[in-house]
Amino acid sequence: MATETLTLGKALNTGLRRALENDPKVVIMGEDVGKLGGVFRITDGLQKDFGDQRVIDTPLAESGIIGTAVGLAIRGFRPVCEIQFDGFVYPAYDQIVSQVAKMHYRSQGKVRIPMVIRIPFGGGIGAVEHHSESPEAYFAHTAGLKVVSCANPQDAYVMIQQAIASDDPVVFLEPKRRYWEKGPVDLDAPIADAYPLHSARVARPGTDATVLAYGPMVRTALDAATAAAEDGRELEVIDLRTISPLDLTAAYESVRRTGRCVVVHEAPGNLGLGSEIAARITEECFYSLESPVLRVTGFDTPYPAARVEEEYLPDLDRVLDAVDRTFGW
């Protein structure tokens, strides 16, 4: 098998290239995705190889990008829209929740919207305001949208192709601070035989406590598990991968064994995904829990200035502190 070591960003680029090669109806559109190759260079070289009719530089108008993509999807194309930064998605929010999410239901199943909305999300890159947000809960709350997030290069390569092949609209969240992290990628992996798009995976097995994370926080959780192992505590880390629909089967099985659970995400804690996950874990695993399900999240404030963002973001110490608290009950 052709296995290469790629950054997460390059794996996304390679997955997009494969999708363009395999289906002439796939088009990529967004601000600076063509000649520049995107601000993070995720679409680098694609316009040169596939032309400006398939990799399209759009005006700076997110609502227009998504609205145009809806029309393309109705006519049989598979548009892949790039929102340049997470905080730029809000002008397109009306289109996403009112049109993209509702069209299939409104048409009684006659119309499908096979489109992908790529959003680099999360902090950790020292960016300015509106460039480091975590808006996943807005979209996960909206029926009709599927929301996923990759955490490593292999998943980036596979999941972007799976999302493009889906007949449903997918909000594809990319952990921007992990774009440059490297890992092995099996370029020959049959997409259909890989993990299904909407399924979780055990990223590290363990016996003493369960840590649930997605996107950029999976690496943080794995680092915490490595540190905990030095003190003789084995943490099981589960990469949720899919935010909506949530796949918690592996989490239930894990918590029934470990009796303890910590949920980690960058977004603020109030009404975040951690709240829903904690509620479901408690409902399904109540008699197995040795302590309450705890959350480690961002704070309930606007994302801070870059010089203090490390104080805001969940880190290894905060995760380990929560794990310690589960053993203190």
Task: Enumerate the active-site residues.
Answer: 131
Residue recorded with tokens 């260079």? 41
In the block, residue with structure tokens 């809806």? 70
d(CA 292, CA 275): 12
Backbone φ and ψ for 147, nearest 5 degrees, come out as -130, 125
For residues 156 and 174, the answer to whether their CB atoms sit within 8 Å is yes
Tell me if 177 sits within 8 A of 315, measured CB to CB.
no
Tokens of 141: 């709350």
Q: Please report which residue ranges of 23-61 form alpha helices under DSSP H.
A: 46-50
306 in Cβ contact with 126 (< 8 Å): yes
84 three-state secondary structure: coil
Q: Which helix (H) or strand (E) holds 238?
A: strand 235-239
Q: How far apart (Å, rounded) are the C-alpha atoms in residues 90 and 95?
A: 10
Query: 119 has which bridge partners?
Result: 173
